[in-house]
Chains A and B, each alone.
Chain A
Amino acid sequence: MSSTAFPTLAVLADELRSGRRSAVDLVQQALQRAGQCAALNGFVSLQGDEALAAAAAADSARTATAAPLAGIPFALKDIFCTKGITTTCGSRMLQNFVPPYDAHVVEQLHAAGAIRIGKTNMDEFAMGSSNENSAYGACVNPWGSDRVPGGSSGGSAAVVAAGIVPYAIGTDTGGSIRQPAAFCGITGLKPTYGRVSRYGMIAYASSLDCAGVLARSAQDCATVFQAIAGHDDRDATSVERPADDVQASLDKPLHGLRIGVAREYFGGGVLPAVAQRCHEALAELEKLGAVLVDMALANAHHAIAAYYVIAPAEASSNLARYDGVRYGHRCAEARSLDEMYSRSRAEGFGSEVKRRILVGTYALSAGYYDAYYVRAQKVRRLIANDFAAAFASVDLIAGPTTPTPAFRLGEKSGDALAMYAADVNTVAVNLAGLPAISAPAGFVDGLPVGLQLIAPAFAEARLLNATHQLQRVTDWHLQEPAA
C-alpha cells in the first residue's frame, strides 16, 4: 500500500521551486483526500475553489526562492477569523458568522503563500478534549473509527494524521494541540504564550489561549512556527522579542541536554503501557546524549482545579459578547431584552459551553471570588514557580502527553469530570505560559501515544531540536493509519 502522506515541507518546497510538482497538484491531492476521508468529519468547511485559484496563482508566480510554505496546502482550525469565510468556532451561535477581517495568523500564512483548503472541526469555543462538543458533529480519529481524535483541535489533528494536508493550525488553551496530536499520532507544538498573536483568534480563555502547529514532524512544526510567530501590536500580550531561528538549531546534537523526567506525569491515572512507551522514547533521547534526571513537580496535581476555575472564569466573560445584538444567533421570538439575551444564548451555546460559563460565573461571583478565582491564580503562581525552580536544573521536562491513548467516542461525553481529569498533564503548561510539544512515541493496542516535552518560556528552539533529533532515529511519527 502506497503512502497517502505528503513528504516533509522542505521536500514539498523544493519540489515546488524546481517545478517537479505544482501547487495545483498539491491542492488537488489534498481536496481529493479530503473527499475520501469525509467520514472523519474533520472539516467544518472547505474552500476548494479559492484554494485551487490560489494554487494556480502560486504556480504562475513560481520562483526558485519561493517562501518555504508557498503553494503548500494547509487546514485552519475554525476558531480563526477569515475574511469573507464563515467562522463558526464549532458553535451554533456563529453558524452564519462571516468575519470582515483576517486573524493575524491567517495574514501571516497568506503572506507566506500558504494555501488554506478548509477550516477544521473543533470542540465548541475550544472547550473540550474529544471534539464531541462540536455543533457540527464529532470528528473521528483516523486510527480508529470508534475513537475520538482528541480536542479541542480534533479536526486539525485528524486531517493531518489522515494525510489530507501536511500541516494544520490549531489552538491550545489546556492541551488542545498536544492532546489531539498525541491521540492522532502526529507532532503538535504549543508555543510560549505571547509568541503568536491572538488577534483574530476567537477567545476561550485569554490568558491561556495560544495558537500553534500540528504537523507530521518537529521539522515541519519549526517551518510553520517560524511563519506565524512574532510581535503584533494588535495584541497587548504579544511579546516584543524576535523569534529565534528554530530551523537553524534543529540539527544541534543533544549531548548534555538535561531532561527532567517528572514523576507526577507518570503517576496516577497514566496507563502503564503509555508510561512504558514514553520511557522507551526517553531512552532513545538518552542514546542521543541527553541526560535523564529524575525530578518532582510537587504541585502538578493542583493544576486541574486551578485550570478549571481560571479558564471558565475568563470564558464566562469572553463569551458575554454573544448576545444576539451585533452578530451571531438571536432568538427570533424574544420580546423583551432579557428574553433576547437568555434565550439567544441558551439556544446558541452547547451544553459544555454553558456548563463552563456557569462555573466561571460562579467562580467570579460575590462571595466566591476569593475562594475560587483568587485562590486558583495563587495556585497558578505556585505551579509557575515549580516550573521555574525545575528549569534551574533541567533543560526540558518530559512525560506522557495524556494518561491513555484515544478513548472511545461517547466514553466520557457524559462525564465532564472524567474528561477534565484526562487533561492532567497538559493544563499546567498553559497556566505557566510555557512552550511544549507532543511527539509520537509508539503505540498501545494500535493507538498512538504522545511524549510531551516542556521547555522554559521562549525556548521553542530547544523543544524542536530535541524532538527533531528523536525523529531522526525513530519512525513513530512516520506511521500512518490504515486508509
Chain B
Amino acid sequence: MTNGNQVKSLTGKKHNFGMVIDVDRCTGCGACMIACAVENNVPPGPVDATDRTGITLMRVYKADNGMDFPDNESVFFPVSCQQCEHHPPCVSVCPQNAVEVDPATGIVGQIPVRCLGCRYCMAACPYHARYFNWWDPVWPEGMERSLNPDVSLRMRGVVEKCNFCFHRLQAAREKAAAEGRDEIKEGEYIPACVESCPTSAMTFGDLLDEGSEVYRLAQSNGSFRILERLGTGPKIYYFSEREWVRNIAEKDPASALKRGATTD
C-alpha cells in the first residue's frame, strides 16, 4: 500500500477531487449524461441495446417520497462512479490490477486496455456505476470525426467507468506546465458533466482545499452521500434541504416494497 503522504506526484501537491450535487436544483434534464457520453467517446450503441446494456457513465435515477398526489414529490440523483476513498469495492477484486486509486488525485482509475472483461468489478460495485462494452464501438458515418482525441476508444469486452474526465486534468496540467506553473489553478479542471449542468447543481473541486466551494458544501448540513454505511467513502456528495431526500440515501431498498413497488 502506498502511503498517501509520501507520494510525490509530477505536479507536486496532493489533491482529493470530489463533487457535490445539489439535488434540489437538479431537474433531471440529463444534460450531464449527454455531455459525459460526448466527452468520453461513448458510442451510440446498436439498435438492440437496452437501458441495461447501454453505456451511461453518468446516469440519472429518479426517486420519490412515496406519497400520493398532491403530496408526491420527486427527486433526481445523477449517479456516476462515486470515486470511493476507502477500499473501493472494485479495486481489490480486479484480478489484474486494471483498477487503482490514483494517490495524487484520489481518482479511481480504470484502464480498459488492461481489462480482461471478467466483470467482477461490476458485480462488486454497489452503485452499478461500471459498464461493460457489449458491442464494438461503431459511430454513424461521419460522426467519428467528432470524437475527442484525448480519450481513447474502448473495444468490446472491457469494462469502463467515470474517471472524473481525467484527460481534462491532464490538459490543465499540461497548460500549467507550458506556462511554467507546476500546479493547476482552481477551476481550470472540471469534468464535462459539471460544465454542462444548466442549473449549476454540480460543484467540483478539491476536497482537501478548505477554501474551496466544494469543501464548504460537502461539510454543510444538507450534504450526504449514497450508501455511506458501506464504509467505502464515496467522494460524490449530494446536497438537499429536504430531510426525506437525505434519508433516501441510506434507506433499506426493501422499504420500497411496502408501498407496493413493482419488482422489475
Indicate, yes or no, whether A interacts with B: no
Q: Which residues of B contact A (CB under 8 A)?
A: none
Q: Which residues of A contact B (CB under 8 A)?
A: none
